C-alpha cells in the first residue's frame, strides 16, 4: 500500500491496495486510514485487487465510516467484477455513489471537490 505525495498536497489522498484483499491484509490498511491529517478526499485504489473476501468488505466499510465521521469524502476504485459483487451484496456503507471503475476519473472528481 502506498499513497501519492502530490495528491497529499492537494488534500486528496490515494490509498493503493494491490493483490488479494482479505482478512490478513486489512489490519495494515486500517492503521493507515487513521493517518488522514489534511485529507479532504480519500481514494481507495483497489483497481489491482483480483478478489475481495467478506472480511475485507467489512474492513472497507469500517474505513469509509471512519473517514466520513471526519467529513472526508471517499471514492473506491474497484474492477468491474468486484463492483458488481458489492452491488449484489448491497453493502450498506459501500453504495454505488462511492464506487468507481477508473482511477483517473476518480482522481479528477476528487481534485474537483478540493479545488
Q: Bigger pLDDT: 112 or 5?
A: 112
26-42 residue pLDDT tens: 555 555 555 666 789 99
62-90 residue pLDDT tens: 888 988 998 999 999 999 998 998 888 88
For the chain, the distance separating the N- and C-terminal CA atoms, rounded to the nearest angstrom, is 26
For 108, residues 6+ apart whose C-beta sits below 8 A from its C-beta are: none
Helix (H, G, I), strand (E, B) or coil at 78: coil
- Weakest-pLDDT range from 13-27, 76-90, 91-105: 13-27
As a whole number of angstroms, the distance between CA 76 and CA 100 comes to 6
Short-list 5, 6, 41, 44, CA closest to 25: 44
Q: What pTM value is reported for the model?
A: 0.81
H helix and E strand count, the chain: 5, 4
Amino acid at each position: 500500500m502506498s499513497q501519492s505525495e502530490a495528491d497529499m498536497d492537494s488534500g486528496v489522498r490515494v490509498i493503493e491496495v494491490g493483490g488479494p484483499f482479505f482478512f490478513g491484509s486489512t489490519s495494515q490498511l486500517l492503521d493507515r486510514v487513521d493517518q488522514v491529517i489534511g485529507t479532504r478526499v480519500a481514494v481507495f485504489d483497489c483497481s489491482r485487487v483480483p478478489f475481495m473476501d467478506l472480511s475485507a468488505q467489512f474492513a472497507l466499510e469500517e474505513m469509509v465510516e471512519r473517514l466520513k465521521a471526519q467529513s472526508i469524502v471517499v471514492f473506491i476504485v474497484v474492477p468491474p467484477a468486484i463492483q458488481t459483487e458489492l452491488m449484489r451484496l448491497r453493502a450498506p456503507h459501500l453504495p454505488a455513489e462511492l464506487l468507481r471503475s477508473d482511477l483517473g476519473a476518480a482522481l479528477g472528481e476528487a481534485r474537483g471537490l478540493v479545488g
